[in-house]
A and B are shown apart, each in its own frame.
Chain A
Amino acid sequence: MVADIHLGNVSKTFPAKAGKVEALGGIELDVARHEFVSVLGPSGCGKSTLLRIVAGLIPPSGGEVLVHGQPVDGPSSKVGIVFQSPVLLPWRTVLQNIELQVEVRKLDRAAFRDKAHKLISLVGLEGFADSYPYQLSGGMQQRVSLCRALIHDPSLLLMDEPFGALDALTREQMGLELQRVWLETKKTVLFITHSIAEAVFLSDRIVVMSARPGRIQEIVTVDIPRPRTLDAMKDPRFHQAVDRARKLMNAAGLPE
């Protein structure tokens, strides 16, 4: 079967004052359909850059990027993105923010109205459809942006540290919720995070990167059955994976 995401020897250099910054080098990765893959690595190792390349927002400097076997040459309709900040438009309500995706892609507004409401309740935001972003907490805003990333039914979900700005408890809740949404909608997910525990809890595989130039150090497989509850964190396999990832992160020479 063709992988949903294929990265073959992908590299990216940015022009800088003194010559160039090599953000990514020699990235080899295949993500299978319905797989949940996390990317873990020290700050500045090129995680966001990797996500932007897969999203078609920036081109790679070298290598091959395929989504569903097709070369990526720009943003695609098969991709939904959740950014680190919610990026909601303050002049639009929750529902209107979600429907931005529908409007811009010129999909049938009426047909997607139902779906939007379903997603809103799926992430536990019933009753907030007509609220404005400033009336929501950070966690609620991030859930809206998750709905927006899912509304057009992409097969690929790219998430760049979506829970980075949340407190530990909310973060755990969001993790559980994301797993539920993922099990229900069966997307292929590329999930960037700073948190080892979060990565292990959510992922089938964890890509651990090293700092500048960003390279893949090792891919850690997490073999815990789904659905995982918070009790999964007591599983010895959970601890094994966490230990392994932490060792690799330490080897990368920088604090997590």
Chain B
Amino acid sequence: MRSWIYPVGTVVILVVLWDVLVNAFSIPQYLIPAPETVVRHLIANWKFLLGHTWVTTYETAGGFLLSIVGGVLLAMAIVSSRAVDQAIMPLLILSQTFPKVAVAPLLIIWFGMGVQTKIFVAFLIAFFPVVIATVAGMRAVETETMELIRSMRATRMQIFWKIRLPAALPHFFSGLKVAVAFAVVGAVVGEWVGSEKGLGYLLLWANANLDTPMMFSVLVLLMVIGMILYYAVVWLERIAIPWHISVRGEGPQATI
């Protein structure tokens, strides 16, 4: 089974549909450019675009990696003690209710215009799903499993390393898949509020100049970044949890 046929097929169908609609309704280029125009724009400006794409890529990847480390550490703290859980969780939920775009300018004031601010914004947005998923995973250990490991007189450390951590992996990877998309958004938001490079900056610039082909090119590149990072996570997941049903691929559709 060629698993790439479906995602690629979907993209091809969407692009064809886009092309047909643009032509059928003669939509002017400044509203929605045809796919062909976007592709030509991408090719003509590839060097310029690649530079900005690279900037956004490492900001995203940096924020994403940071969100993994921070998210897992926070999840461990939350699971390890009820007091920590009750102290941190409300703050965590609260922190998610105010929009990051609103606090980003403040972060620029605190941390400056450099790359570290963008990484931090990406981290701020991406770590939440990691925490929630990892906590859920570590708690998803059944009573009987806990009784089993307790009957072996396991220490807290042993319970963590041998049971909770591996049991949390499937949830953890689900969290990462959400986080990776969030990290892209975070990097772009970080660039919006203060930067002179990166795809977010380019997006603002294109917007101000009504350069729709440029805008669409940037959007395509953002999607490409998101896809590459997403499939990197999927690839890691296959290596890390080959035993899990989601990877074994014996979902309901396989047993019809």
Q: Is the A/B pair a real complex? A: yes
0/1 per residue, B139-153, Cβ < 8 Å to A? 000101101111111
- Asked if B152 and A105 sit within 8 Å, CB to CB, the answer is yes
Who on chain B is nearest to A56 by CB?
B151
User: CB-CB < 8 A to B145: which residues of A?
Assistant: 87, 89
Q: Are A104 and B162 in contact (CB under 8 A)?
A: yes
Interchain CB contact (< 8 A) of A91 among B148, B153, B166: B166
B162–A103 contact, CB under 8 A?
Answer: yes
> Which of A19-27, A72-80, A180-188 faces chain B?
A72-80
Of B5-13, B119-127, B241-249, the segment with at least 4 beta carbons within 8 Å of chain A is B241-249
Taking CB atoms, residues of chain A closer than 8 Å to B158 are 104
In Å, the complex CA distance between A77 and B150 comes to 11
Q: Are B243 and A101 in contact (CB under 8 A)?
A: no
Given known pairs A52-B147, A85-B144, the reply for A100 and B243 (CB within 8 Å) is: no
Q: Interface of chain A, helix or strand or loop or mixed?
A: loop
Task: Assess the B144–A134 pair: CB atoms within 8 A.
Answer: no
A163 located at the interface, meaning its Cβ lies under 8 Å from any Cβ of chain B in the complex: no
B225 to chain A, nearest CB (A): 31
Interface string of B116-142 (1 = CB under 8 A from A): 000000000000000000000000001
A89-B166 contact given A104-B158, A132-B243, CB 8 Å threshold: yes
A155 CB to nearest B CB, Å: 15
Q: Which residues of A contact B107 (CB under 8 A)?
A: none
A165 adjacent to chain B (CB < 8 Å): no
In the complex, per-residue mask of A132-143: 1 if CB is within 8 Å of any chain B CB, else 0 = 101000000000
Contact with B along A36-76 (1 / 0, CB 8 A): 00000000000000001001110000000000000000111
Given known A87-B144, A132-B243, A134-B248, contact A75–B163 (CB-CB < 8 A): no
Chain B residue with Cβ nearest A102: B152
A191 within 8 A of B: no
Q: Which residues of B contact A134 (CB under 8 A)?
A: 243, 245, 248
> What are the residues of chain B within 8 A of A56 when measuring CB–CB?
151
Does the CB pair A90–B150 fall under 8 Å? no
Q: Which of A77, A79, A104 has the most chain B CB within a 10 Å cutoff?
A: A104
Contact A91 B152 (CB under 8 A): no
CA distance A105 to B148 in the complex (A): 12
A83 within 8 A of B: yes
**Beta-carbon contacts of B163-186 to A below 8 Å, as 1s and 0s?**
100100100000000000000000
Q: Which residues of A have CB within 8 Å of B150?
A: 57, 75
CB-nearest residue of chain A to B250: A134
Contacts of A120 in B (CB 8 A): none
Chain B residues, CB < 8 A from A91:
166, 169, 241, 243-244
Check B163 against A89 for contact (C-beta < 8 Å): yes
Tell me whether B147 and A101 are in contact (CB under 8 A): no
B232 on interface, CB distance cutoff 8 Å:
no
| In contact, A100 and B162 (Cβ under 8 angstroms) | yes
Q: A81 contacts the other chain (Cβ, under 8 Å)?
A: yes
Given contacts A91-B241, A104-B162, contact A83 B152 (CB under 8 A): no
Q: Is B154 an interface residue (CB 8 A)?
A: yes
A103 to B211, CA, bound (A): 64
Tell me, in angstroms, the Cα distance from A91 to B169 when the chains sit together.
10
A57 touches B147 (CB 8 A): yes
Q: Is the CB of A101 within 8 A of B152?
A: yes
Across-interface contacts of A76 in B (CB, < 8 A):
153
CA distance A91 to B239 in the complex (A): 12
Q: Is the CB of B149 within 8 A of A90?
A: no
Give 27 A-B contacts (CB < 8 Å), ordered by A residue.
Answer: A52-B147, A57-B150, A75-B150, A75-B152, A79-B151, A81-B148, A81-B151, A83-B144, A84-B144, A85-B144, A87-B142, A87-B144, A89-B145, A89-B166, A90-B244, A91-B166, A91-B169, A91-B243, A100-B162, A101-B152, A104-B149, A104-B153, A104-B154, A104-B162, A105-B152, A134-B243, A134-B245
| B interface residue numbers (CB < 8 A to A) | 142, 144-145, 147-154, 158, 162-163, 166, 169, 241, 243-245, 248
Q: Measuring CB to CB, which residues of chain A are less than 8 angstroms from any residue of chain B?
A: 52, 55-57, 74-77, 79, 81, 83-85, 87, 89-91, 100-101, 103-105, 132, 134
10 smallest A-B Cβ distances: which pairs?
Answer: A104-B152, A75-B151, A104-B154, A87-B144, A91-B166, A91-B243, A87-B148, A90-B243, A81-B151, A75-B153
